[in-house]
Structure 1
Amino acid sequence: MTRKLPWYGLGLLILAQICYPLTDDGARTAVTVTTVVLGYVLSVGHAALTRGPRVAAVLVVVTTGGGLFVEAAGVASGAPFGEYAYSGALGPKIAGVPWVIPLAWTWMAWPAWLAAVRLVRPTALRVGVAGVGLAAWDLFLDPQMVAEGYWTWSNPSPSLPGVPDVPLGNYAGWLVVAILMMTVFSGLAGPAALVIGPDAPMYALYLWTYFSSILAHAAFLGLSASAGWGALGMGLVALPLAVTLILHRVRT
C-alpha cells in the first residue's frame, strides 16, 4: 500500500493539471496553487518513503529554503533572475515572495535529481544533468505564469524569439541556481542510490510534465514558442530518460 501512495499522488496531480487549461481565469489561480502543493507533497513524500526522513529533510532545506532565499534576493536586488515583481494573485508573501513559489522548486528538483541518477553515474555529471533538468522546466514555467499575470519583469529584453516577456538572463540565473542547489543537495544527502522500481512515479512525473507542457502550451494556452523552446531544453533530460526506461522495459 505504501508503495502505491506516490502513484495515487501523481494521479491527483495529473487531474489538477488537466483542469488548468479547462478553467477560466478566476479558477486558474486556485488550480495553480493546488497543483504546486500536490507536487510538493508528492516529491517530499516520495523522498521520505524511498530514501528516508533525513534525505527528505535535506531536500526541503536545500530546495524549499534555498528557493525562498534566491527568490527573495531576486525580488530585492534583481539578481540572479533580473528585476521582477510578483503580483498579489498567488496569495500571502514571505519577503516579497508568494509562499507557494519555494514549494515549486522542490516539486521539480526531486524528479530532476532522480532522472539524473538514472542517466549518469559520476557525481559531477549527475549534478550537471539534474541542474539542467530543473532549470529547463522554466522554459515552460515562466512564459505560462507571466501570461497569467503572476509576475512580471521590468526589462525583459533580450529574450528568446517568440517569448518577449521573459529575459534571457532569467534562464541563466535558473541554471546557476539549479546547479548550486544540486551540488549542495548531493553533498548533504550522501551517495545516490538507483532504485528503478520505487522511483518510477518520479520518472513518470518528470516525463508527464515534459509532454503535457508541450501539449498545453501549443494547443491550449496559445504559447507555441515556449512549447518549442521547452521541448528543446527539457528534452535534453526527458528524452534520454524516456529512452532508457523503454530499453529497460524491453530487456526485462
Structure 2
Amino acid sequence: MTAGALTRVPAARRAPAVLTGALLLTAIAYPLTSDGAVRDVVSWAIVLLGSALSVVHAGVSRGPRTALGLLGLVAVVAVAFEAVGLATGYPYGTYTYSDQLGPTLAGVPFLVPLAWLMMAWPSWVLAARLARRRPARVLVAAYVFAGWDVLLDPQMVDAGYWTWAHPSPGLPGIDTVPLTNLAGWLLAGIVLMGLLDVLVDRTREPGSPHTGDAAPLVALAWMTLGGALAHVGWLGLPGSAAWGVALAVPVLAALGLHHRAARPGAGR
C-alpha cells in the first residue's frame, strides 16, 4: 500500500496497525533494558498497548458492542480466577504478587486483567481463523492462551512480579513455575474462550469483520516467537524459549494447512 493510499484509510482502521507497531517496538525494548525501574515501565507499556490493541481491533473489526463486551468479560473472568487463585491456590497453585505491579482489586493487580485482555483477543482471533465449529474454536483459543503464558510466566517470575510457593514439578527446563499453573490456564482459557465466543457471536455487527485480523495476529506472533528469541538471547531463559517454540509448532502447522487449503485451486 502506498503512502497516499494509507492516508485514505479511515483513522479508526489504521489504529490497530499503529498500536501493533508501538507494541512490537516496546516489546523489543524489554530485553534490552537492564534497569529494574525502567523495565517495570516497559512492562506496563507493553500490557497497556496490548490491551488497547485488543479492544480497538475488536471495535474496528466486529463493532463497539463486541469491544465493550470483551473489556467487561475479560475483566470479570480474570479478577474472579485470580482472586480465587490467590485465596485458595486453585486452579494454578499457591502464588503471591509483589508490590511492583501497583494497585490491586481483591488482591489482584490492575495490570493482571489487562494482561489477560492483551492475550485473550489475539488467541480467539487466531482460533476463529483455524476452526469453524465452536467447540474446536474454544479449545484452540484456550491452547494458544495457555501456551502464551508458558512463555510469559517464567519471564515475570524472573522480573520479580510474582513467586510460586511450590514451583516443582514444572515443565522440563522451567524450574520456577509449577505444572499446576499450566493446568489452571487451560481451565481458565476454556471458560474465558467459551464465553468470549458466545459474546462475539451475539454482539458482532452484520458483515463483520470490517477489517482484517493482521494486527492482533502479528502481535501474537511477535510476542510469542519474538519473546522466545528474547528469552534465549538476552533473558537467560532457554527452557521457556524452547517450550514457547514447541507449543507454537502445532499452531504454525495448522496455519500452513489452512493457508494451503484456502488457496485458489486447492484440492483440484
TM category, shorter: over 0.9
SS of the residue corresponding to residue 212 of structure 2 reads helix
- Aligned residue for 1:132? 143
SS of 1:44's equivalent in the other structure is helix
Matches within 5 A, 1:75-224: 75-190=86-201, 195=209, 198-224=212-238
Q: How many pairs are equivalent?
A: 251
Structure 2 residue 20 is matched with structure 1 residue 10: yes
Counterpart contact for 2:56–2:67, Cα < 8 Å: yes
Report the TM-score, using the length of structure 1 for normalisation: 0.93
Q: What RMSD, in angstroms, separates the aligned Cα atoms of the two structures? A: 2.1
> Structure 1 segments of 4 or more deviating over 6 A?
191-194
In the aligned structure 1, how far is the partner of 2:76 from the partner of 2:256? 30
Checking the alignment, whether the CA contact within 8 Å between 1:75 and 1:84 is kept in structure 2 is yes
AA matched with 1:241: L
Describe the superposition over 1:145-166 as per-residue Cα deviations: whole angstroms up to 9, x where unpaired. 0011100011111111111110
The correspondence of residues 20-35 of structure 1 with structure 2, limited to 5 A, is 20-24=30-34, 25-35=36-46
Amino acid at match of 2:231: H
For the pair shown, the structure with the greater C-alpha radius of gyration is: 2
C-alpha distance in 2, partners of 1:84/1:165? 11
Aligned residue number for residue 70 of structure 2:
59
Structure 1 Cα separation of the partners of residues 121 and 230 of structure 2: 23
Show the counterpart of 1:37. Answer: 48
- CA separation of 1:109 and 1:103: change in aligned 2, threshold 3 A: same
- Separation (CA, whole Å) in 1 of partners of 2:249 and 2:66: 27
Partners of 1:163 and 1:134 in 2: CA distance: 18
Q: Percent identical across equivalent pairs?
A: 43
Matches of 1:11 and 1:113 in 2, distance apart?
Answer: 20
Q: Which moved more, 1:218-227 or 1:89-98?
A: 89-98
Measure how far apart 1:185 and its partner are.
1.4
How far is 1:249 from its partner? 7.8
Q: Distance in 2 between matches of 1:250 and 1:37?
A: 39
Letter in 2 for 1:123: R
CA contact (8 A) 1:210 1:235 kept: no
Q: CA deviation at 1:189?
A: 2.5
Partner of 2:6: none
Q: Could you say if the C-alpha distance between residues 166 and 38 of structure 1 is closer, same or farther in structure 2, counting changes exceeding 3 Å? A: same
The separation in 1 between residues aligned to 2:121 and 2:171, in whole angstroms, is 27
**Secondary structure of the residue that 1:85 maps to in structure 2?**
strand
Give the stretch that moved more between structures: 191-200 or 33-42.
Answer: 191-200
Q: Which one-letter code corresponds to 2:18 in the other structure? A: Y
Note if contact 1:139-1:229 (Cα within 8 Å) is conserved in structure 2. Answer: yes
* TM-score in terms of structure 2 length: 0.87
Aligned pair in 2 of structure 1 residues 249, 146: CA closer, same or farther (>3 Å)?
Answer: farther
More divergent stretch after superposition (229-238 vs 133-142): 229-238
Aligned AA for 1:237? V
Deviation at 1:246, TM superposition (A): 7.7
